[in-house]
Amino acid sequence: MNTKITEQNNELVAQFEGRLDTAAAPQTEKELAPLADCAGKNIVLDCNALEYISSSGLRLFLGVLKGAKAKGSHVYITGMNDDIRNVFNMTGLTNLFEFR
């Protein structure tokens, strides 16, 4: 599992690659720490290369969302495959995030 954060067009872009399961979640959580400093910038979670996500991963996403909202930023998710989108549907997270 690799996570890479870049800044593009005044947006913080987090690129996920691989499986975001429970085992990978602690590491990923650390890697996502920079997103906390997002004042004035929107966040994009790029899931084009994300193969798998479990509830641990969802919790990370939810944490990012909560942090961003508190600072008035938007969180966009992009490039989700159908299986992952299905997981979002099942857990009701589709209603919370914005998708590109």
Partner 1 sequence: MKERNKFSKWFRSLQTRSSLALLITAAIFVQLSGAIQYFYARNGIRKAVQQQARTEIQVRNLEIQNVVTNVETAVNNMQLILNWSVDNPEGIYGVLETIIRTNPTITGCAIAFEPGYYPDKGRWFEPFAGRDENGNIVHRQIGSQEHDYFNAEWYKVSRETDSASWTEPYFDDAGSKALVCSYTMPVYDSKGRRAGTFCSDVSLDFIIDLFGAKNSAYTYLASRTGHLIASPDKTSVMNATLDDVANYFNDSMIDRVNAAMLAGDSGDAELHSKDGEKSYIFYAPVEGNTGWSMAIIYPDKEIYQGVRSVGRILLILTLVGFGFLIYIMWRTVRGFKKLQAVNAEKERIGGELRIASGIQMGMLPKTFPPYPDRDEVTMAGTLVPAKEVGGDLYDFYIRDEKLFFCVGDVSGKGVPASLVMAVTRSLFRTVSSHEDSPERVMKQMNNAMSEMNESSMFVTLFIGVLDLHTGRVLYCNAGHNPPVLIGKETRFIEQDSNIPVGLMPAWDYTLQDGQMESGDLLFLYTDGLTEAENTVHGQFGEERMMERLRSLGHTPHAVVDGMTEAVHTFVADAEPSDDLTMLAIQFVHPIEENEGRKSEGGGRSITLQNDVQQVPQLAAFVEEVAEGVGLNPSTAMSLNLAMEEAVVNVMNYAYPAGTQGDIDITACKTKGMLTFTITDSGTPFDPTAKSDPDITLAAEDRPIGGLGIMLVRQLMDEVLYERKDNQNILTLKKKI
Q: Does 37 bind partner 1 (CB under 8 A)?
A: no
Is residue 5 within 8 A of residue 13, CB to CB? The reply is yes
For partner 1, which is the closer residue by CB, 52 or 76?
52
3-class DSSP state of 33: helix
Q: How far apart are CA 29 and CA 26, in angstroms?
A: 5
Q: Does 12 bind partner 1 (CB under 8 A)?
A: no
Number of residues located near partner 1, criterion CB under 8 A: 24
Tokens of 7: 């800044």
Tokens of 60: 């990370």
Is residue 25 within 8 A of residue 57, CB to CB? The reply is yes
**Stretches 7-15, 34-42, 62-70: which one binds partner 1 (CB under 8 A)?**
62-70
**Which positions touch partner 1 (CB under 8 A)?**
19, 21-23, 52, 54-56, 58-59, 62-63, 65-66, 69, 82-83, 87, 90-93, 95-96
